[in-house]
Amino acid sequence: MKTGVLALQGSFFDHVKSLELIDKEYQLIKSVSDLDNIDSLILPGGESTTMMKIQKNDDLFESIKIKINEGMPTLGTCAGLILLANDVIDGQSSISCLNTVVERNAYGRQNESFEGLVDFNGNKEMYCFIRAPKIISYAQTVTPIALIDEEVVGIHENNIVGLSFHPELSNDIIYLEWLKNFLKDGLNVRSL
């Protein structure tokens, strides 16, 4: 089975590169028929408004939501987190399966975008925050999984992980090791 990578728009080839580094086969997802042979899913960074517009063609997100609710391990980075969130301030919710409120571009515009030292998997690494969404709040069923200073920048609920930042632009060994285990086991993902 392959990992599906949503490929409507955005940095999906950077996630493909991560998958190649851990020898995991992948399937680019552009329409509903691409979902057949996947056992895990990655929603990349990019523009969430653009992705929402393109998917409408065949209601791709409806089918993706069913797969996620069946328990498929799913990782969303940046715009991917926005797609997963139940509630988006100043924006639209779409797949809506992760119990969190996020705000688009809440760290500022591009000039305020930054590389920050993130505590993720008990490891500290510099990751990119690019016009990043902020995790404003989350339900009790959600566990924090990544922090910058005291602020939560990554969360985990059931088999769903949402990150404000872009580990795929760094591809450090600890992230890749985590990704490998997460895509395989989902639930056993380690929390802080």
Partner 1 sequence: MKIESTFKIKKGLAEMLKGGVIMDVVNAEQAVIAEKSGAVAVMALERIPADIRAEGGVARMSSVETIQEVIDSVSIPVMAKARIGHFVEAQMLESLGIDFIDESEVLTPADDKNHIYKHDIKTPFVNGATDIGEACRRIGEGAAMIRTKGEAGTGNVIEAVRHMRSMTDGINKIITADVNSLMSIAKEIRAPFEVVKDIHESKKLPVVNFAAGGIATPADAALMMQLGCDGVFVGSGIFKSGDPKERAEAIVIATTNFDNPEKLVEVSKELGEPMVGLNIDDLDETEKLAKRGW
User: Which residue from 86, 96, 105, 171 is in contact with partner 1, where contact means CB under 8 A?
Assistant: 105
User: Site for partner 1 (CB under 8 A): which residue of 33, 37, 57, 123?
Assistant: 57
- Alpha-carbon Rg of the chain, whole angstroms? 15
Strand ranges for 36-141 from DSSP E: 38-43, 74-77, 85-89, 98-103, 114-120, 123-129, 134-138
Q: Which of 88, 83, 86, 84 is nearest to 102 (CA)?
A: 88
By the rule CB under 8 A, 50 interacts with partner 1: yes
Closest CA to 80 of 59, 57, 58, 55: 55
Q: Report the b/e string of 18-33 with b at 16+ CB within 10 A.
A: bbeebebebbebbebe
Of the ranges 18-26, 110-118, 139-147, 174-182, which one interacts with partner 1 (CB under 8 A)?
Answer: 110-118
Does residue 112 have an active-site annotation?
no
Q: Does 94 bind partner 1 (CB under 8 A)?
A: no
Scanning 12-20, 33-41, 67-75, 93-101 for contacts with partner 1 by CB under 8 A, the matching segment is 12-20
Does residue 53 touch partner 1 according to CB under 8 A? yes
| 166 DSSP assignment | B
**In the set 20, 62, 112, 185, which binds partner 1 (CB under 8 A)?**
112
Cα pseudo-dihedral 96, 41, 28, 36, rounded to 10 = -90
Please identify, among the stretches 18-26, 43-51, 68-76, 175-183, the one whose residues bind partner 1 according to the rule CB under 8 A: 43-51
Where along the sequence are the contacts to partner 1 (CB under 8 A)?
A: 7-14, 30, 45-47, 49-50, 53-54, 57, 78-79, 90-91, 104-105, 109-117, 126, 128, 130-131, 148, 166, 169
